[in-house]
Amino acid sequence: MPTFDNPVEDAMEASAALRGLAHATRTFDNPAETYPVLGELLAGVRSLRQVLDQLSAAHIEARSRAHTDAGSQPSGATAALAAADELHQAGTLLDTVHERVDAAMSQSGRIAWQRAPDPFDAPDATRATAQAGELKLTVWPDVPLGEHQRYAYRIENPATGQSVEGRDLFTGVGAPVSPKRALRELAVFLSAAGDARQFAIDHPGQHTDNDAAFPDWVADAARQHPDAFTELIDHHPNLPEKPGGRRWVSVVFLQGEEADQVLDIIEREGTDAAIEHLTGYDLGEETTQAALENGYVYDQPPTGALDRTATRDVYTLTYSPFLGHVSLLRTHDAIPDPALLDIDTPAPARRTVERAPVRAGRAEAMDWFARRPGTSASSGRGLAL
Q: What is the pLDDT of residue 323?
A: 77
What is the rounded CA–CA span in Å between residue 186 and residue 380? 16
3-state secondary structure of 97: helix
Q: Would 363 be classed as within a structural domain? A: no
139 with 226, same domain: the answer is: yes
310 to each of 172, 269, 273, 328, how far by Cα in Å? 19, 13, 11, 10
3-state secondary structure of 358: coil
Q: Would 184 be classed as within a structural domain? A: yes
132 to each of 33, 116, 233, how far by Cα in Å? 37, 29, 10
Q: Would 89 be classed as within a structural domain? A: yes
> What value does the mean pLDDT of the chain take?
77
96 with 132, same domain: the answer is: no
- Domain with 203 in it: 120-234
- Enumerate the β-bridge partners of residue 148: 145, 173
Q: What is the pLDDT of residue 358?
A: 32
Q: Would 53 be classed as within a structural domain? A: yes
Q: Would 242 be classed as within a structural domain? A: no
17 with 102, same domain: the answer is: yes
Whether residue 383 contacts residue 186, with contact meaning beta carbons closer than 8 Å, is answered with yes
252 with 172, same domain: the answer is: no
350 with 253, same domain: the answer is: yes
33 with 128, same domain: the answer is: no
Q: What is the pLDDT of residue 67?
A: 94
What is the rounded CA–CA span in Å between residue 44 and residue 50? 10
Q: Return the DSSP state at 243.
A: P
- Measured over the CA atoms of residue 343, residue 348, residue 349 and residue 350, the dihedral's sign is negative
Q: What is the pLDDT of residue 348?
A: 42
Long-range CB contact pairs, 86-90, < 8 A, 24+: 87/52, 87/53, 87/55, 87/56, 87/59, 88/52, 88/53, 88/56, 90/52
- Enumerate the β-bridge partners of residue 162: 157
Q: Would 253 be classed as within a structural domain? A: yes
Ranges of the chain whose pLDDT falls below 50: 119-123, 236-244, 341-382, 384-385
- Measured over the CA atoms of residue 340, residue 341, residue 346 and residue 348, the dihedral's sign is negative
3-state secondary structure of 137: strand
Q: Would 65 be classed as within a structural domain? A: yes
Q: What is the pLDDT of residue 364?
A: 31
Domains in the chain, number: 3
215 with 124, same domain: the answer is: yes
Domain boundary among 234, 256, 286: 234
135 with 227, same domain: the answer is: yes
Domain boundary among 199, 234, 269: 234
What is the rounded CA–CA span in Å between residue 27 and residue 281? 34
Closest CA to 331 of 310, 341, 316, 353: 316
76 with 133, same domain: the answer is: no
Q: Would 77 be classed as within a structural domain? A: yes
Closest CA to 362 of 3, 13, 26, 17: 26
| H helices present in the chain, as ranges | 7-24, 34-61, 73-108, 179-202, 216-224, 226-234, 257-269, 271-278, 285-294
65 with 89, same domain: the answer is: yes
Enumerate residues 6+ apart whose C-beta is below 8 A from 259: 319, 324, 325, 326
Q: Return the DSSP state at 82.
A: H
160 with 68, same domain: the answer is: no
Query: Could you tell me how far CA 323 lies from the centroid of its own chain?
Result: 16
Tell how strand 308-312 and strand 315-320 pair up: antiparallel
What is the rounded CA–CA span in Å between residue 172 and residue 302? 6
Q: What is the pLDDT of residue 345?
A: 39
On the 0-12 / 13-18 / 19+ scale of CB atoms within 10 A, 119 is: middle
Q: What is the pLDDT of residue 171?
A: 63
Long-range CB contact pairs, 259-262, < 8 A, 24+: 259/319, 259/324, 259/325, 259/326, 260/324, 262/319, 262/326
Closest CA to 260 of 208, 321, 187, 331: 321
What is the rounded CA–CA span in Å between residue 70 and residue 364? 38
What is the rounded CA–CA span in Å between residue 274 and residue 142? 37
Q: What is the pLDDT of residue 335?
A: 62
Predicted TM-score of the model (pTM): 0.39
Domain boundary among 211, 234, 257: 234
Q: What is the pLDDT of residue 143?
A: 80
- Length reported for the chain: 385
101 with 133, same domain: the answer is: no
Whether residue 291 contacts residue 249, with contact meaning beta carbons closer than 8 Å, is answered with yes
Q: What is the pLDDT of residue 65?
A: 94
